[in-house]
Amino acid sequence: MPALVIGATLGVFALGILAVTLHLRREIREDIAKREGEILHSVAMMLQAEEDRTLLDEPSVQLNVLLKTSRLKGVVAARLFDAQGRFVSAFPAYVSDGALAARDLAGLQQLQTIARPREFASHVGLSEQPGAEKVPFDLYEIIVPLHAQGDRKLLGIAQFILDGRGLATELRGIDRSLANQAVSVFLIGGAVMVIALRWAFGRLQRAQAQLARRSRSLLEANRELALASKTSAVGALAAHLLHELKSQLFGIQALLAGRRTSEADKAEPAWRTAADSAQRMQALIAQLLGVIRNEQGAANSYEVSLNELADLVTTQVMPLARACDVSFTAEVKSPGTVSSRAANLVGIILGHLAQNAIQATPRKKAVRLTLLGEPHGVRCEVRDEGRGFSEELRPLLFKPCLSTKEGGSGLGLALCKQLAGHLDAELELEQSTANGCVFSLTLPENLAGDVSAESDLPQSSDTESFAKPG
């Protein structure tokens, strides 16, 4: 579209310059012809002044003036007409009779000189007589009114045919000058117009691009508002359900606490498993309620450092590590922060992965949590020293299924995968061998801030490394 508009503009500009050039050329030709006519008129008036004033209306006297005037350089033929425009005589003899147009006669009666170019000699009758040679060049026709000096009465009319070669040479030079000037004006004006139009189209395209970006931002904002509205409703319902579930769990815990008064009941594995499960569910509900409160209060969000995130996970899993006699270490290799909303969900994911790793690791072995910066986000690794997963179980890890772990529900990794998808993060089993597994959680760049992947020195995270002495 810009190229078409610029081309059309240049075409109109070129047509305008051509029209102006042709108009100037026509006016210049007319001015040159008028100049020659004024010269002949002046000469004819001077020659008439030499004649007897009382005999100027005689055809013989007028013919004498015509013959004297025709001696001027460039005059090739002449005719004499009376005041009414009737043909009287011609010079040379082979020049045919002629007649004046009515519009020319009206102007001559007002003592106006007529001068115009004539393209062919046959128009003025120079080649109509037998034996007359054709004139191979352009001619000019000049018609002069004959009258006495100081008198407005028309006495006769003299028509002169002039050789136009000299005028043609002059006009060709003028035409070249006009053509050069027209080309110069077109090039300079066209360049200015092209630059101005390109600048204008550039601004227009930038404005359109900015408008498109703002439109996309508005659409994205509308989608986010709609999602926020839905999330708020779902969050309110989830919070209500979790509060109800929390109340029921308190009742179950109270029942279990009453049953523990008996030493025999305490020794039953089923009651111990129920008590531990109730406690874990209570902790998980508390975490989910915290996430919901943080989602609903997004306006008060803040940044959480990776060191604080490591401390959060360490606090969650350290009691389990002591109970299982497993060494747990949290290490932060790069400084950085994540939003409080993301930190809550990441803490849940990493806490569950770390708990699974501790439960899968034999006594006296180690589990390590590593947080490090990468060019496009933050990478979290949970590494254990367990026996790994069999080939049959790997495709089912992140799907709800029956758990092979005592007291497990088979939903933990599936929920972690769902939470990672909510953050646009990637959770995957990176390595599984007989010597242990490595789960990795990669956070996108928009959730991480001030990450420096180049720092390869471990940062102090105030985390705790525990190994129960044997």
Question: Distance between CA 66 and CA 160 in Å, rounded?
Answer: 9
The encoded tokens of residue 360 equal: 């899968």
Q: Which helix (H) or strand (E) holds 396?
A: none
Q: Give pLDDT, residue 240.
A: 58
In CATH, which of 3.30.300.180, 3.40.50.2300, 3.30.565.10, 1.20.1560.10 is domain 301-470? 3.30.565.10
b/e burial code for range 240-261 (CB count within 10 A of at least 16 → b): eebeeeeeebeeebeebeeeee
Say what the pLDDT of residue 98 is.
77
Whole-angstrom distance, CA of residue 335 vs CA of residue 15: 69
Q: Phi/psi zone of residue 424: left (φ > 0), alpha (ψ -120 to 50 degrees), beta?
A: left
The pTM assigned to this predicted structure is 0.40
CA 225 to chain centre: 28
Q: Are 32 and 167 in contact (CB under 8 A)?
A: yes
What is the rounded distance in angstroms from the CA atom of residue 188 to the CA atom of residue 316? 78
d(CA 402, CA 387): 19
Euclidean distance between CA atoms 173 and 25, whole angstroms: 11
Q: What is the mean pLDDT of each run of 10 residues along the chain (470 residues)?
A: 84 90 84 77 72 66 74 77 85 77 85 72 46 55 81 83 76 86 90 89 88 88 71 58 63 64 54 64 63 54 82 90 91 81 83 90 93 81 90 78 53 80 87 90 76 40 39
Torsion from C-alpha of 402, 405, 410, 412, nearest 10 degrees:
-170
Listed by start position, the domains of the chain span 2-163, 301-470
195 class by beta-carbon count within 10 Å (0-12 exposed, 13-18 middle, 19+ buried): exposed
Residue 18's φ and ψ, nearest 5 degrees, are: -65, -45
Sheet with strand 337-339: strands edge to edge:
303-305, 337-339, 448-449
Residue 136 to residue 416: CA distance in whole angstroms: 104
CATH 3.30.497.10 fits 2-163, yes or no: no
Q: Answer whether 446's CB lies under 8 Å from 336's CB.
A: no
